[in-house]
């Protein structure tokens, strides 16, 4: 999240400090690739990854014999394990288990984060009363509370959902409170001189102005939800992709372990694409300006 | 009839700075008044008090006989920074006031369309503010205010961020619109030529503390020729008044 907050200001300062270096030429040098060339390079990058993986695996298994071939199955073996598990319906069961936990935990966190963030962003009193509490908890990695969550909520669904909720709450809460607090005061003045009441200003000015922030928080939180669900399923679960990986470890099924990781990666990419689409839709007024700028 | 009565208004900020000192002024209905002065003379403070954004420390302001206590739809404000809602298209911005009043969608669309046409932007109704030039944004902001039918139009250096050519075009446009839809206008500026071109009456303000230095009535008929002898003479006269105030501020 900190990375998102970093503004490109220092770079601009650097350019300004060196008058001889033109920022335009620098940018042009980076842009000097045609679109198809970029596409080819990016495809090659992905292919190279699999070729290397395949090469190392096969070379070790048949020629070099440096380590036990079981430790690094080739991509086709992972694919075969995937097909087998998909056919038996087991893979879908794990995916559904993890996804439903994420959806629940993330959903509750989004609702809580937006409501609490809005309330604190609107009221100085509440902000000073509640924020220190949350700021104290925030630097503690959510994983530190995982064993506790299991003690409190048992090993059923509740502990996993609660854990995701806890982890996903913070980014949404933080970005919401910022968004609500830093609405351009001139927009509020404009609305009030157009006759809007406090309530109308909240719904028609403050909330829409804070939406980009809230959406950023939600995207970060969604990523985090996936991040922590795997860990939660390592510890206390009998289903889910985290369980799949950990269970495969017990039986030394390295292909299945890699399969679990790959599936998580694919779901993550898909979810991000979906969220970006949604963001582009909701923030049309901003996106188009990006193209212009 | 007096549309705006300013009665012994002072404003001091907590740091003890006196921004305005006992200012009294009466503005007739449908008059066009410019508040002119260097930065720090309290002209924007006075405008913001008429708008109801800030409260006077002493004195009171009446608009159409009612004391100003908060911002309201009877006093439309045009800001230098345009203050358009970036998530609304041009027409949706203009619709804001009618929407707040509870006008049904088709009716407020029609109202907004009429006012966008008045400012010459009917072709751009579906554009977002980011896609519009500065002059176009300010046209939308003016249409948004007029669609709300205020009795008073308050303009805080509305053309200050525009380039010189656009600025002159916008001044002419504003007069054209004002002729069609008469309102009491209070226009804050630090441009002497702008104030002579637009106003019936120029209130030259003094600095530290902000007071009224002189009230200049401009009798020239519209459209005014910026190069005419009368225009230039008045410009020189007002420049002298403003210079004295700038000199008082010391380093410029």
Model confidence at A5, pLDDT cuts 50, 70, 90, reads very low
| Domain co-membership, A28 together with A138 | no
pLDDT at A180: 94
B186 Rama class: left (phi>0) / alpha (psi -120 to 50) / beta: beta
With CA atoms as reference, the chain B residue closest to A188 would be: B83
* Residue A200 confidence (pLDDT) above 60: yes
The ranges assigned to domains in chain B are: 1-74+151-237, 82-149
A284·B101 Cβ contact <8 A = no
| Domain co-membership, A59 together with A97 | no
With CA atoms as reference, the chain A residue closest to B132 would be: A289
Beta bridge partners of B78: B155
Cβ atoms of A171 and A227 within 8 Å: the answer is no
Structural domain harbouring A61? 23-65
Rg of chain B in Å (alpha carbons): 18
Cα distance from N-terminal residue to C-terminal residue, chain B:
41
> Last residue of a domain, which of A43, A65, A87?
A65
Of B75, B100, B130, the CB nearest to A200: B100
In this prediction, what percent of chain B has a pLDDT beyond 90?
Answer: 64
| Domain co-membership, A176 together with A230 | yes
| Domain co-membership, A50 together with A142 | no
Of A190, A195, A286, the CB nearest to B72: A195
Beta bridge partners of B66: B63
| Domain co-membership, A80 together with A58 | no
Is A42 within a domain?
A: yes
With CA atoms as reference, the chain A residue closest to B77 would be: A193
| Domain co-membership, A126 together with A158 | yes
pLDDT tens, residue by residue, A19-57: 444 444 445 556 678 888 899 999 999 999 999 999 998
Q: Measure B204 CA to nearest chain A CA, in Å.
A: 26
Rg of chain A in Å (alpha carbons): 24
Q: Measure B236 CA to nearest chain A CA, in Å.
A: 35
Per-residue pLDDT averaged across A121-133, rounded? 90
For chain A, the domain total comes to: 2
Is A6 within a domain?
A: no
Is A257 within a domain?
A: yes
Is A7 within a domain?
A: no
B87·A208 Cβ contact <8 A = yes
A288·B144 Cβ contact <8 A = no
B131·A292 Cβ contact <8 A = yes
Is A47 within a domain?
A: yes
In this prediction, what percent of chain B has a pLDDT beyond 70?
Answer: 99
| Domain co-membership, A44 together with A109 | no
Instruction: Give CA–CA dist A113/A173, Å, rounded.
Output: 4
> Last residue of a domain, which of A11, A36, A65?
A65
| Domain co-membership, A57 together with A169 | no
pLDDT tens, residue by residue, A177-193: 999 999 999 999 999 99
Structure tokens at B241: 């008044």
- What's the CATH number where A107 sits? 1.10.3720.10
pLDDT tens, residue by residue, B59-114: 999 999 899 999 989 999 999 999 999 999 999 999 999 999 999 999 999 999 99
Is A15 within a domain?
A: no
**B-chain residues near A285 (CB < 8 A):** 86-89, 128-130
Q: Are strands B184-189 and B201-206 parallel, antiparallel or unpaired?
A: unpaired
Helix (H) or strand (E) holding B212: strand B211-217
| Domain co-membership, A127 together with A264 | yes
With CA atoms as reference, the chain B residue closest to A281 would be: B87
Is A2 within a domain?
A: no
Is A8 within a domain?
A: no
Work out the angle at residue B160's Cα, subtended by the Cα atoms of residues B120 and A184, and round it to the nearest 5 degrees. 90
With CA atoms as reference, the chain A residue closest to B130 would be: A289
Instruction: Give CA–CA dist B183/B147, Å, rounded.
Output: 13
What is the ipTM metric for this complex? 0.91
B71·A193 Cβ contact <8 A = yes
A190·B77 Cβ contact <8 A = yes
CATH number at B1-74+151-237: 3.40.50.300
Question: Which of A287, A285, A288 lies closest to B84, judged by CA?
Answer: A285
Structure tokens at B69: 């206590």
pLDDT tens, residue by residue, A269-285: 888 888 888 888 888 88
A-proximal residues of B, 111-170, CB under 8 Å: 128-131, 144-145, 148, 154
| Domain co-membership, A112 together with A237 | yes
Whether residue A288 lies within 8 A of chain B, CB to CB, comes out as yes
| Domain co-membership, A127 together with A247 | yes
With CA atoms as reference, the chain B residue closest to A190 would be: B83
Q: Measure A118 CA to nearest chain B CA, in Å.
A: 19
Which residue would you say has higher pLDDT here, B200 or A21? B200
A189·B77 Cβ contact <8 A = yes
Lowest mean pLDDT among A154-158, A207-211, A239-243, B81-85: A154-158
| Domain co-membership, A275 together with A184 | yes
């Amino acid at each position: 999240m900190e990375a998102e907050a970093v503004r490109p200001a220092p770079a601009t300062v650097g350019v300004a400090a060196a008058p001889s270096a033109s920022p335009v030429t620098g940018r042009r040098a980076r842009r000097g690739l045609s679109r198809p060339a970029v596409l080819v390079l990016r495809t090659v990058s992905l292919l190279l990854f699999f070729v290397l993986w395949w090469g190392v695996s096969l070379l070790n298994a048949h020629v070099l014999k440096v380590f036990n071939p079981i430790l690094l199955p080739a991509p086709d073996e992972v694919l075969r394990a995937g097909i087998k598990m998909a056919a038996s319906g087991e893979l879908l069961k794990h995916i559904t288990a993890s996804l439903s936990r994420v959806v629940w935990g993330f959903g509750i966190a989004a609702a809580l984060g937006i409501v609490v963030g809005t309330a604190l962003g609107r009221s100085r009193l509440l902000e000073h009363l509640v924020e220190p509490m949350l700021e104290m908890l925030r630097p503690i990695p959510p994983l530190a509370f995982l064993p506790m969550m299991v003690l409190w909520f048992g090993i059923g669904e509740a502990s996993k959902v609660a854990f995701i909720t806890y982890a996903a709450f913070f980014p949404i809460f933080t970005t919401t409170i910022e968004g609500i607090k830093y609405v351009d005061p001139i927009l509020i003045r404009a609305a009030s001189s157009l006759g809007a009441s406090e309530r109308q200003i909240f719904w028609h000015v403050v909330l829409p102005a804070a939406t980009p922030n809230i959406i950023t928080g939600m995207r970060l939180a969604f990523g985090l939800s996936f991040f922590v669900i795997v860990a939660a399923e390592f510890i206390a679960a009998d289903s889910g992709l985290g369980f799949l990986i950990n269970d495969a470890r017990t039986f030394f099924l390295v292909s299945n372990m890699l399969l679990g990781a790959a599936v998580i990666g694919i779901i993550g990419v898909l979810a991000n694409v979906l969220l970006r689409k949604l963001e582009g839709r909701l923030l049309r007024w901003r996106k188009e300006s990006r193209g212009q700028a | 009839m007096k549309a705006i009565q300013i009665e012994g208004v002072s404003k001091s900020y907590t740091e003890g700075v006196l921004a305005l000192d006992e200012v009294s002024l009466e503005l007739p209905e449908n008059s066009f008044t410019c508040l002119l002065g260097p930065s720090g003379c309290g002209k924007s403070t006075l405008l913001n008090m008429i708008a109801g954004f800030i409260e006077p420390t002493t004195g009171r302001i009446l608009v159409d006989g009612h004391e100003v206590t908060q911002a309201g739809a009877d006093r439309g404000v045009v800001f230098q920074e345009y203050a358009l809602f970036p998530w609304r298209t041009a027409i949706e911005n203009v619709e804001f006031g009618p929407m707040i009043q509870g006008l049904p969608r088709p009716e407020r669309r029609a109202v907004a369309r009429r006012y966008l046409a008045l400012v010459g932007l009917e072709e751009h109704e579906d554009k977002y503010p980011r896609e519009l030039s500065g002059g176009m944004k300010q046209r939308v902001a003016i249409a948004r205010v007029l669609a709300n039918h205020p009795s008073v139009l308050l303009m805080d250096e509305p053309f200050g961020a525009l380039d010189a050519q656009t600025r002159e075009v916008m001044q002419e446009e504003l007069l054209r619109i004002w002729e069609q839809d008469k309102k009491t206008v209070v226009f804050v500026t630090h441009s002497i030529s702008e104030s002579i071109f637009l106003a019936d009456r120029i209130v030259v303000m003094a600095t530290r503390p902000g007071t009224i230095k002189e009230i200049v009535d401009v009798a020239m008929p519209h459209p005014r020729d910026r190069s005419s002898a009368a225009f230039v003479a008045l410009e020189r006269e007002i420049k002298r008044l403003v210079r004295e105030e700038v000199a008082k501020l010391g380093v410029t």
